[in-house]
Structure 1
Amino acid sequence: MDQSRRKFLKTTSLAAAAIAAPNIWIPMAGDAWGATLKKGEPIKVGLLFSLTGGLAVPEEDSTLVMQYAIDEINKNGGVAGHEIEPVIVDAKSDFNVYSEKTKELILRNKVIAIFGCYTSASRKAILPTVMSQNSLLYYPTCYEGAECSQNDICTGPLANQHSKDLIPFMVKNFGKKVFFVGSNYVWPKESNKNAKVWLNAAGGELVGEEYIPLGSSEFGPILNKIRDAKPDFIFSTVVGASDIAFHKQFKQEGFKVDSMPIASLTTGEIETRAMGNEFGAGHFLSAPYFQALDNPTNHKFVEGFLKSKYGKNGVTHYNMEETYISAYVFKYGLEAAAKKAGGIDGITSKMIRDASGGVRVEDGVSPEGLIWIDDQNFNTWLKPKIGQCQADGSFKIVKQADAQVAPDPYSIYPDVGVCTPTGLKAPDGKIRANVI
Structure 2
Amino acid sequence: MDCTPKSGEPWRVGVLFSQTGVTAGIERTQLQGTLMAIEEINAGGGVDGREILPVVRDPQSDPALFSALAERLMTEERVSVLFGCYMSSTRKAILPVVERRNGLLLYSTLYEGFECSRNVIYTGAAPNQNGRQLADYLTREYGSRVYMVGSDYIYPYESSRIMRELVLQRSGKILAEKYLPLNATQKAFAPVIRDIRRKQPDFIFSTVVGAATAHLYHAYAEAGFDPARMPIASLTTSEAEISDIGVAASRGHVTAAPYFDSIDSEANRRFVARYRERFGEHERTNASCEAAYFQVHLFAQALRIASCMDTDRLRDAIFGQEFDAPQGRVRIDPDNNHTYLWPRVGRVDAEGRFEIVAESPVAMKPDPYLVDHNAADEADIRWRRQAAV
Same fold (TM over 0.5): yes
Counterpart for residue 396 of structure 1: 355
Give yes or no for contact 1:138–1:154 (8 Å, CA) kept in 2: yes
Query: Could you tell me which of 292, 298, 302 is aligned with 1:333?
Result: 302
Counterpart for residue 146 of structure 1: 114
Structure-2 separation of matches of 1:126 and 1:87: 16
Query: Could you tell me which of 405, 408, 418 is aligned with 2:367?
Result: 408
Structure-1 separation of matches of 2:5 and 2:232: 50
Structure-2 separation of matches of 1:126 and 1:38: 29
Q: How far has the Cα of 1:374 moved from its partner?
A: 0.3
Counterpart for residue 63 of structure 1: 31
The letter of the residue matching 1:86 is P
Counterpart for residue 72 of structure 1: 40
Counterpart for residue 123 of structure 2: 155
Query: Could you tell me which of 258, 264, 276 is aligned with 1:306?
Result: 276
Structure 2 residue 141 is matched with structure 1 residue 179: no
Give yes or no for contact 2:42–2:52 (8 Å, CA) kept in 1: yes
The count of corresponding residues between Structure 1 and Structure 2 is: 370
For residues 50-93 of structure 1, give each alpha carbon's deviation from its aligned partner in whole angstroms, at most 9, with x where no partner exists: 10111101001111121111101100111122100001111111
Structure 2 residue 241 is matched with structure 1 residue 271: yes
Q: How far has the Cα of 1:108 moved from its partner?
A: 1.5
The letter of the residue matching 2:6 is K
Query: Could you tell me which of 322, 325, 347 is aligned with 2:291?
Result: 322
Structure 2 residue 215 is matched with structure 1 residue 248: no
Q: How far has the Cα of 1:36 moved from its partner?
A: 6.0
Structure-2 separation of matches of 1:148 and 1:155: 12
Superposition pairs of residues 33-432 of structure 1, within 5 angstroms? 38-40=5-7, 41-217=9-185, 218-308=188-278, 310-311=279-280, 314-338=283-307, 344=308, 347-362=309-324, 366-412=325-371
Which portions of structure 1, spanning 4 or more consecutive aligned residues, are displaced by more than 6 angstroms? none
Q: How far has the Cα of 1:274 moved from its partner?
A: 1.1
Q: How far has the Cα of 1:299 moved from its partner?
A: 0.6
Pairwise CA RMSD of aligned residues? 1.6
Three-state SS of the structure 1 residue aligned to 2:328 is coil
Three-state SS of the structure 1 residue aligned to 2:49 is coil
Give yes or no for contact 1:136–1:350 (8 Å, CA) kept in 2: no
Structure-2 separation of matches of 1:104 and 1:65: 24
Give yes or no for contact 1:179–1:234 (8 Å, CA) kept in 2: yes
Give yes or no for contact 2:129–2:366 (8 Å, CA) kept in 1: yes
For residues 316-342 of structure 1, give each alpha carbon's deviation from its aligned partner in whole angstroms, at most 9, with x where no partner exists: 11110011011111111212223xxxx
Structure-2 separation of matches of 1:369 and 1:379: 16
| Mean CA deviation greater in 320-329 or 106-115 | 106-115
Q: How far has the Cα of 1:412 moved from its partner?
A: 4.6
* Closer, same or farther: CA 37–94 of 1 in aligned 2, 3 Å: farther
Give yes or no for contact 1:270–1:316 (8 Å, CA) kept in 2: yes
Structure-1 separation of matches of 2:136 and 2:326: 27
Give yes or no for contact 1:36–1:112 (8 Å, CA) kept in 2: no
Three-state SS of the structure 2 residue aligned to 1:370 is strand
Give yes or no for contact 2:234–2:256 (8 Å, CA) kept in 1: yes
Unmatched runs of 5 consecutive residues or more in structure 2: 374-389
Structure-1 separation of matches of 2:116 and 2:182: 25
Counterpart for residue 380 of structure 2: none
TM-score under structure 2 length normalisation = 0.92
For residues 348-378 of structure 1, give each alpha carbon's deviation from its aligned partner in whole angstroms, at most 9, with x where no partner exists: 022111211111012xxx1001010001111
The letter of the residue matching 1:333 is A
For residues 259-312 of structure 1, give each alpha carbon's deviation from its aligned partner in whole angstroms, at most 9, with x where no partner exists: 21011101111111112111111000100001111111111110111011x347
Unmatched runs of 5 consecutive residues or more in structure 1: 1-31, 339-343, 415-436
Counterpart for residue 18 of structure 1: none
Counterpart for residue 377 of structure 2: none
Counterpart for residue 420 of structure 1: none
Three-state SS of the structure 1 residue aligned to 2:178 is strand
